Homo-oligomer: A and B are copies of this chain.
């Protein structure tokens, strides 16, 4: 009977170990491999908000399928566990194992974070992905977030955004004077230098703030998202293109201890799913912005671009703001050097490829 009991115990242990027990993997590692995980992901977006909010849901679904249910991630909207602007802190402290947000919201904690979302006159989505994954960008992002106990991943891109909603026709730089605008990151610093006042607030608060006159202007994303929030009901002019956010990159963050607790296959599943969803979000925006643009046009929104001298002035102020950030923060200087070199190089090739093709197609189609 002793022998039989021993065999039963062995049978149960082997069962718990999973199919790899025959491959010579030691019992401890196999047990970790079959352990199940229940994680929380906090986000900066309203629950299930188009694009921004569907990406983390799609990520959680893909991870659950790929891991055969061993890693289940429950996604929370802004305010459900922590407020929109506390995602970084919550994942850093371990309140949640993962977060989905945008790095430039944390510029108060780490000035260089803005470079991993978007800066004025910076990289578009394709270029950001090139820099992050083949230009050294992701390694710098990991270095920047390490002191905060966070492991970052590219988490989707909106593509080139719009320049935002205004109730004043911008005919010269003078028209920015006295305007209070919701605009985060370096774009916000530039807008303030151009005579306005930049305000930071989560997307969910913009509509009411515009309606009640707390702010006079706001940038959010682009037609697909902006239509969902109904900004056309409280603003008259819609400017393009997004000089300040040419390819806003979102972020997945993972708490470092939570990350280290995972076996290699689940780490690979998170890495793979993040890359897959990083592309999927851009695909969604690319396919859906135009239908929303048509609806906005039908609603009588005035869609236009800034005068060339305003764009030129924004460029000049951007140079000043960047130079100050470079002078004040060593890590900003280090990341910007990498970013700026990549930009110079990729622009040179894109002039004869992506950009030249757009112009060729436009002239002939």
* A127 B286 Cβ-Cβ under 8 A: yes
* A66 B15 Cβ-Cβ under 8 A: no
A 111-130 contacts with B by CB, 8 A: 121, 124-127, 129-130
The A contact surface, by secondary structure, is: helix
Q: Which residues of B contact A293 (CB under 8 A)?
A: 348-349, 352
Minimum CB distance partner of A160 in chain B:
B353
Interface flag for A14 (CB, 8 Å): yes
Minimum CB distance partner of A293 in chain B:
B349
Interface flag for A68 (CB, 8 Å): yes
Interface flag for A315 (CB, 8 Å): yes
Interface-centre pick from A8, A272, A303, A353 (highest chain B CB count, 10 A): A353
A residues near B, CB below 8 A?
3-4, 7-8, 10-12, 14-23, 33-35, 62, 65-70, 121, 124-127, 129-135, 159-162, 222-223, 240-243, 246, 263-265, 268-269, 271-273, 275-276, 278-280, 282-291, 293-294, 303, 305, 308, 311-312, 315, 342, 345-365
Interface-centre pick from A275, A288, A305 (highest chain B CB count, 10 A): A275
* B130 A286 Cβ-Cβ under 8 A: yes
Distance A289 CA – B353 CA, assembled complex (angstroms):
10
Distance A308 CA – B303 CA, assembled complex (angstroms):
30
* B129 A282 Cβ-Cβ under 8 A: yes
Interface-centre pick from A10, A65, A126 (highest chain B CB count, 10 A): A126
Additional A-B contacts beyond A241-B357, A305-B356 (8; CB < 8 A): A7-B8, A14-B14, A126-B159, A132-B283, A241-B352, A286-B346, A315-B364, A350-B358
A124 to chain B, nearest CB (A): 6
Q: Which residues of B contact A351 (CB under 8 A)?
A: 362
* A265 B67 Cβ-Cβ under 8 A: yes
Distance A38 CA – B330 CA, assembled complex (angstroms):
49
* B360 A355 Cβ-Cβ under 8 A: no
